[in-house]
Structures are given as C-alpha cells and as structure tokens.
Structure 1
Amino acid sequence: MKVFMIGGTGLLGLEGAKELIRRGHEVSSIALPPIPEGVSLPPGMKLFFGNYMELTDEEIRNFMKGCEGFVFAAGVDERVEGPAPIYDTFYRYNIKPLERLLRIAKEVGVKHAVVLGSFFAYFNRIWKGQKLYDTHPYIRSRVDQANMALSFADENMDVSVLELPYIFGTQPGRKPVWVFLIEQISKMKGSTFYPKGGTAMVTVRQVGQCIAGALERGKGGKNYPVGYFNLTWKEMLTIMHKHMGTPDKRIITIPKFLYRLGMRSIINEYKEKGIEPGLDPIGLVEIMTNRAFIDKKIIVEEMGVKGDDIDKAIGESVRLCMEVLDGKQKTISMKGE
C-alpha cells in the first residue's frame, strides 16, 4: 500500500513510517523542518519539507494521488495555552486542516485513513458524570475532531481514530514531553508529592504498530482507545525515581482537596496572564485522581500490537529529560510547545 503521511518526522509519525516500511508499504510524507540531529529516516521513505497548511488543494491532491492510505500525525496538544477562547486554536490546527485533507483524500480515492487523537475523547464517552466535553476546551476539540473525521467513513474509505494515552520513548534530538515532570520531581527534595490515580500508557513502538495495524485492519469508521500498560502514578513515579538515580525517594500521596487548592493558584496565574489552558485546572483534578485505564485487548486483537518494555521506555525518556535539563543535550521541541 502507498501511504501519505502528515508529520512523518515527528516522534509518533516516524515510528509509524518505520513500521509501515518494515511491513512492505511505501511511505511519503510532508513535514516541517528541521529533522532532529541524530534521527535516521527509514530507507525508502520519501520526505518533503513544508507546511501542509499553506499548500493549495491541488498541491495536496498531487501528494495523495495513487495512495491507498493516509495518516494524520500532526496538530497541537493540550499543552497549548493562549488567549480565550483557546478552542479556536485547537480548531485551527487539529480540525479545520484535517477536514480539508480528508475531503481531498476521499476525492483522490484513498481507501484507509488514520488520525492520531487523544484518549481524553475515550474517557469523555465513559466518564459521563465529569462532563469533560463541556469543561475542557482541548477535550472538546478532540471529540469534535474525531466526530468530523468519522463522518468521512463510508464503503469507499475507512477512518480510524487512535485515542492515544501517555507515551514513553524517545527520538534523538527531540525534547520529550516529560521534561516538565522530571524537572518538577527534581525540585521536590526528600519526597515526591503526587495525587492518587493512574493512567494507561504505551511505548512509541506500540504507537507505530497501532498506526500500521489501523491502516491494514481498520474497517468503516471507528474510535480505537489505545492503552497497553495501566500504572498508578505511584508505580510510574517509582520507575522514574529509579532511572533518576533516586530509587529510595519516598512518594507521598496528597489528598484531593490539597491538590485542588494548588490548582486554584494556577487558575489565578492564568487570569493574570490573560490566557486560557486547554485543560481546566479544577476539572483536571478529577481526571488526575482517577484511574484512566484502558484494556489492551482492543489494540492487541484488532491491530496486532505486541508487548514491549515500558520500564525501558520510561527510562529512555527520563534520561533524555535529565540531559536536556542539565544542558547536555541539544533538542528541538515537541509539537505543542
């Protein structure tokens, strides 16, 4: 299958391209420069530098002609903050351009489309009482993005939305999303204070397998909640402490009311700066103190995802974060910063 990808040099897009090429598919991609230092592209991958949002419909059509598969591995994430309404920013980068791309994909005969989304959309469906859609602009945008994408699915084109959780693993020269957390933990002397709860997670290699599996096996229009490992925050932090060289550091679970109190001070900071976050700080307390777990059965049975070493992947992320913080590693930022 010939596959066209938006964002093929990113952490996740590149893993998807590697897996697709390993399976015998052809991959071409357009991506923003530069390629991080130390990154090697998979043999045979055709890469074009540019901003897909600035291309004409005809230029995009030429990229997609002859392709059976399309992957959208671009956009911005929940770390984006800005003037209210911040939803407009998410719409501008995650929804509007994707709608145009899917329209063109259908016009040129693409048969299988895969969109990299967020597991927050999954929890919006199952945690009805939390009203995530109404509370968090970012989650609302991801739900709207998925619904829009799935509206293109019919007998001529399959559309799969991968609802991705927290992801561990690294790309040489690219700043991990976890730098903020490692810096936060490092500043807590003696003990690490964190709320109860936990999350689903996968490795970058597993995301690559999800992308390839969805292109090969996806039928109709479907959201796929992605998760393989379910760890409590304490379990995750224990692994992080080990790779930070502080295996005996205590982890103290802070009560929800205290965590909420800290979030209120963050709200005041946002107000002073005149910006709005993608995730409402008070609403985030309910998410963080819950167990955002996902059964791996879906991605194993429906996309053929294999097991991996999450301890190793977390360790790779932690060590690169520490090198970045120590000024020993020159990196470019992930999308969303």
Structure 2
Amino acid sequence: MRILVVGGSGLIGTRVVDVLRGRGHAVTSVARTARPGVDHLLDLESAAIDDLRPLLAGHDGVVLATRADEQRVLPRPAYPALRRELVEPVVRLFTAARHEGLTRGVVMGSYYTHFDRLHPQWRLTAHHAYVRCRRDQAGEGRAAAGPGLPVAVLELPFVFGRAGDRLPNWAGPLDRWARSRAPLVVPVGGTATASVDSVADITADALEQARGGDVPVADENLSWAEMMTRIAGSVGRPRRVGRLPAAAVRAPLRCGGLLHALAGREAGINPAHLADLLLAELFLTPTTGRSLDPALRDTFAEPVPSAGGTPA
C-alpha cells in the first residue's frame, strides 16, 4: 500500500512511518516544519481541499498523527478555536481523501472520547471543549470520508517512548519532578498507558485490515502512584510516592477554573472539572499485555531537555 502520514515528524508519526516501511509499505511523510525524513511541508490547519488532493492522489490510505495541546488556555469560549484546529482540518482531509479514492484512514484521537461514551453522566463534552472537539472530529471526519473510506480512531491515553529527539510533550515536567528532591505525591486515581511502538503497530494493523470504528489503545493500566514510582525508577531516583487527599486535588483546580472564568479564558480541559478525571480510574480494557518498561526507559533514561520534545 501507499500511505500518507500527516504529522510524520512527531513522536507517533515518526514511529508509524518506520513500522509501515518495515512492513513493506510505501510511505509519504507530511509535516508543518522541515525535518529529516519529511517529504512535504503542509500546515493542515490552513490547507484547503484543493491543496490536499494532489498530496493524497495515488495513495491507498492516510494517517492523521498531528498533536494538540489540550491544556492551552484560550479566550472564552475555547471551542471555536479548538474546532478550527482539530475538527475542520480533518473534515477537509477526509473530504479530499474521498475524492481521491482512498480506501482506509486512521486518526490519532483521545481516550477521553471512550470515557464520554462509557460514562455519559460525567458530561465530559459539556465540561471540556477539547473532549467535545475530539468527539466531533471523529464523527464529522467519518461523515466526510463516507462509507467507502473506513476511518479508525485510535483513542490514546498517555503514550510513552522516544523517536530520535521526539518525546511526549509532558515528559519534561515529569522527568524534572522525578529527578528533583521534591516529594512525589499524586491523586488516588489512575490512567491507561501505552508505548509508541504499540500505537504504531495498531495503526499499521488498522490500515492493513481497512478497519474502522473506535479503537481504545492501552498496554497497561496504572494508578498515578504506580506510574510515578516507575518513572522515578527509570530516572534512577526510586522512592516512595504518596497520595493526595481528594480535597487537596479539587480545591486548587477549582480555583484555577474560577480564575480562568474571571479572566474570560478557558482551557481545553477545564481545570474546574479536571479533578474528577484525576481521581477516577481511567482504565481501558482489554490491554495488549505489552510491558511499558522499555518505553519508560526510552522516555526517561536521559534527562529530558527543558524545551521537551514534539509528540505527534
């Protein structure tokens, strides 16, 4: 197959390109900035359908592996700006892909959409503009693709790993915290986790099978305490990780949400409701059973630069 990977210079995109080529597929890599291995430069947010069609022509499938910063604080309401970043480019991309006769696609999404379906009483799309955009991205992207172009949406949790100098954008703060002398104290909840290698393998499988649907991805489910314990071990500073009382988690986040509201600002994930997520067990089943340890070592074996890396 011939596959176009949009966001091919990021952590996930780089690994997807490597895995697809390792399986014998021809890959075209597209990114916003020039880097070794990038075949074409494209800003997906500003690209029109007519800009995308020549890039997609002759390909069998397309992977969208661009990143989004769900914590970015924007003028209230945040949804229109996030929609321009997350939803509208996907609609144009898959409209162009349908016109060019592509037969399969994969979008890197968020596991928050999984929990929105599983727990509608949490009202995640009402509380968090980012989750609403991820839901709309999947639905409107598939509508644009049409029935002849199945689109698999990989619902991703925390993704660990390294591809050259590309790292998760949150790796730097956790790395510095784990290496510091500051106490490690975390909420009582937990999260699903995955390695970038698993994400790339599942992406390649979805393309080869022309698979559609929502695909939650997880290698291991970890409490926050388990995750920080293993990160501390990976950086060579193993120590006990304490647990914060729920009230100590809720109060500062609610204050942060109030301050944003008073300033006419809003984050993609609203801090006023973030504590509910941090205190929950955001676990996915089934898991792959693949150990996260190699990805943890890749992410944290060396000090992460202050600027961090660029995930997909």
| TM-score over 0.5 (shorter chain) | yes
C-alpha distance in 1, partners of 2:112/2:192? 11
Whether the 8 Å contact between 1:82 and 1:276 is mirrored in structure 2 is yes
Identify the residue that residue 301 of structure 2 maps to in structure 1. 319
Identify the residue that residue 171 of structure 1 maps to in structure 2. 163
Secondary structure of 1:200's match? strand
Moved more, 287-296 or 110-119: 287-296
Q: 1:153 to 1:98 in 2, by over 3 A?
A: closer
Q: Write out aligned runs for 1:71-110 (5 A).
A: 71-110=63-102
Unaligned runs of 5+ in 2: none
Moved more, 65-74 or 146-155: 146-155
Q: Write out aligned runs for 1:26-175 (5 A).
A: 26-35=26-35, 41=37, 47-152=39-144, 154-175=146-167
Identify the residue that residue 194 of structure 1 maps to in structure 2. 186
Alignment identity in percent? 29
C-alpha distance in 2, partners of 1:238/1:88? 39
Instruction: Note the aligned Cα RMSD (angstroms).
Output: 2.2
TM-score (normalizing by structure 2): 0.91
Secondary structure of 1:161's match? strand
C-alpha distance in 2, partners of 1:31/1:104? 17
Letter in 1 for 2:221: N
Q: Residue 50 of structure 1: CA displacement? A: 3.1
C-alpha distance in 2, partners of 1:153/1:102? 5
Moved more, 163-172 or 146-155: 146-155
Identify the residue that residue 203 of structure 2 maps to in structure 1. 211
* Partner of residue 292 from structure 2, selected from 310, 316, 320: 310
Q: Deviations over 1:81-122 (max 9, x none)?
A: 211111112101110011011011001100001111100000
Identify the residue that residue 259 of structure 1 maps to in structure 2. 249
Match status 1:291 vs 2:281: yes
Unaligned runs of 5+ in 1: 301-306
Q: Residue 269 of structure 1: CA displacement? A: 4.5
Q: Residue 165 of structure 1: CA displacement? A: 0.9
Whether the 8 Å contact between 2:73 and 2:266 is mirrored in structure 1 is yes
C-alpha distance in 2, partners of 1:75/1:115? 11
Whether the 8 Å contact between 2:49 and 2:95 is mirrored in structure 1 is no
Q: Deviations over 1:229-264 (max 9, x none)?
A: 1111111111111123221x2211111111101213
Whether the 8 Å contact between 2:254 and 2:273 is mirrored in structure 1 is no
Whether the 8 Å contact between 1:152 and 1:159 is mirrored in structure 2 is no
Match status 1:232 vs 2:223: yes
Q: Residue 273 of structure 1: CA displacement? A: 5.4
Letter in 2 for 1:148: E
Q: How many residues are treated as equivalent by the alignment?
A: 311
Q: 1:75 to 1:100 in 2, by over 3 A?
A: farther
Q: 1:134 to 1:331 in 2, by over 3 A?
A: closer
TM-score (normalizing by structure 1): 0.85
